[in-house]
Amino acid sequence: MRKFLLLASLAVAGGCNRSTPTATAPVPATAPVVTVVKPQRKTVQRVVEQPGTVQAFEEVTLFAKIPGYVRALSADPDKASHSEHDRLIDIGSRVKKDQILAELSVPELEEEFKQKEATARQYAAEVQQATKAHAAATAGVTAAKAQVAEAKAGLTRAQALYDRWQSEATRAAKLVTGGVIDAQTRDETVNQFKAAEAGKAEADAKVTSADAAVAKAQADAEKAIADVTTAEARLDVAKADVRRVDALRGYTRLKAPFDGIVTRRAVSAGDFTAADGKHSLFAVARIDPVRVVFQVPEADAGLVTAGQDVKLALQGLSPGGTGKVTRTSWSLDPGSRTLRVEVDLPNPEGKVRPGTYAKVRLTADVPPDWSLPAAAVGKANDEAVVYLVEDGKAVRVGVQLARGDAQTTQVLRFKRSGTTAWVDFTGTELIATPSASLSDGQPISVGP
């Protein structure tokens, strides 16, 4: 303990004899050297990259139109070398337009079709019969008109006899008065006149009768025409019934709507198909071409136009390919605020399958506007800012941005701290870069 206290005393004495060092003055900080740029009007090339999905160009689900039993599934000629259990139309079968996939059996429909055909034949016979009756009626009109002509000729002859004997009777009466002929001769002449008068009346009656016969024949002909029209109308109705039932018979054959591939089969031979629109039998997809569908955000939707070039990268397929924008939805989806864009991609060999993931890259030229290097634009308090060079200091101002790429950012207006007014860029502003190392009011040194 004594030794410890002695050593401690010596240490304290030695420390008291040391001199206190003099305080050193702070070294002034060196102002950072920055590069100064001015806004320039430039066209920015905007790159839009979005994920997409491959979809079938068309896909149709087939239902039964009429109820019935499945008679048989059609054979698949592309599967002739497979096992006998895999030779029918099934998923993966490539089909052609109007190729029959399956046939239904509806016996009562076949019987109804035969009945409608028989009815049509019956009405066709009635049309033929009515047509012949019309021809006969037309001939009757012609014959009646001939009788009228004959009767009129007889009337002319009777009128001539009447006129002759009337004249003879008048002359005979005068001759009797003059004593030239006797009364008996006059009476004979008068009797001849009366006979001619009766013949004329008979001829008149015959003409009237012949005219009536013509009217009746014409009426019969018109009725025959109406009968033909009626029979033809009945035949048209019968034929329409035949076509209707035949159209229903067509629904017993389920056909491929286009060239494609069967993606779903939910029926077998012997199944009963209900025409309720709820239970589909087949699904057929058209896979040449296919659609590559992707969504473009609202900010870039205005840059997308039909015919624009795009680069495609498909999952599992290398190398990628190129295409063109085929169509857009034009309007944005109100939920996601995105624009639906589609690219039609030829697929003759069927290598691109619907459902495949796609990566789409689209490049568009943005119209020229005031632009700055991307390094000159920073961020402070979640606000885009740039630093103006004024009196050797960096002055931070808020800035409104347009579009940009990795190297350039388009700017619209700026606003000084503590103000509410936005000021348009003029191209004379001095902007410090890079902005990441600066703070508001910091002295700076402008480099070359």
What is the tens place of the pLDDT at every residue in 71-82? 999 988 877 655
**C-alpha count within 13 angstroms, C-beta hemisphere, residue 207:** 15
Q: Check whether 184 has a pLDDT greater than 70.
A: yes
What is the tens place of the pLDDT at every residue in 205-261? 888 888 888 888 888 888 889 999 999 999 999 999 999 999 999 999 999 999 999
What is the tens place of the pLDDT at every residue in 360-373? 999 988 888 999 99
Question: What is the pLDDT, as a whole number, of residue 32?
Answer: 82
Question: What is the pLDDT, as a whole number, of residue 364?
Answer: 87
Task: List 49's β-bridge partners, or say none.
Answer: 361
Torsion of CA 283, 104, 253, 282, to 10 degrees: 0
Hey, what are 425's tokens?
């860029």
> How far is Cα 244 from Cα 272, in angstroms, rounded to an integer?
23
What distance lies between CA 211 and its chain's CA centroid?
A: 67
- Please provide the DSSP assignment of 119-167 as one string: HHHHHHHHHHHHHHHHHHHHHHHHHHHHHHHHHHHHHHHHHHHHHHHHH
* CATH superfamily of the 287-364 domain: Efflux pump adaptor protein, beta barrel domain (2.40.30.170)
Question: What is the pLDDT, as a whole number, of residue 296?
Answer: 95
Question: What is the pLDDT, as a whole number, of residue 83?
Answer: 61
> How far is Cα 26 from Cα 14, in angstroms, rounded to an integer?
31
Architecture of domain 109-250: Orthogonal Bundle (1.10)
Architecture of domain 33-44+370-446: Beta Barrel (2.40)
Task: List 443's β-bridge partners, or say none.
Answer: 393
* Residue 447 pLDDT grade (very low, low, confident, very high; cuts 50, 70, 90): confident
Question: What is the pLDDT, as a whole number, of residue 330?
Answer: 94
Query: pLDDT averaged over the chain?
Result: 86
> How far is Cα 340 from Cα 115, in angstroms, rounded to an integer?
54
pTM here?
A: 0.64
31 Rama sector, left if φ>0, alpha if ψ -120 to 50, beta otherwise? beta
- Cβ contacts of 235-244, under 8 Å, gap ≥ 24: 235/120, 235/123, 235/124, 235/126, 235/127, 237/123, 238/116, 238/119, 238/120, 238/122, 238/123, 239/120, 241/116, 241/119, 241/120, 242/113, 242/116, 242/117, 242/120
Torsion of CA 431, 435, 438, 441, to 10 degrees: 30
DSSP E strand boundaries for 268-392: 272-273, 282-297, 309-314, 321-324, 327-332, 338-345, 357-373, 378-380, 383-390
Q: Which residue has the higher pLDDT, 22 or 174?
A: 174
Q: Check whether 153 has a pLDDT greater than 90.
A: no
CB 340 within 8 A of CB 53: no
Residue range 139-157: average pLDDT?
86
- Cβ contacts of 185-188, under 8 Å, gap ≥ 24: none
**C-alpha count within 13 angstroms, C-beta hemisphere, residue 330:** 0
What residues does each domain of the chain span? 33-44+370-446, 64-100+257-280, 109-250, 287-364
> How far is Cα 299 from Cα 356, in angstroms, rounded to an integer?
26
Q: Check whether 25 has a pLDDT greater than 70.
A: no
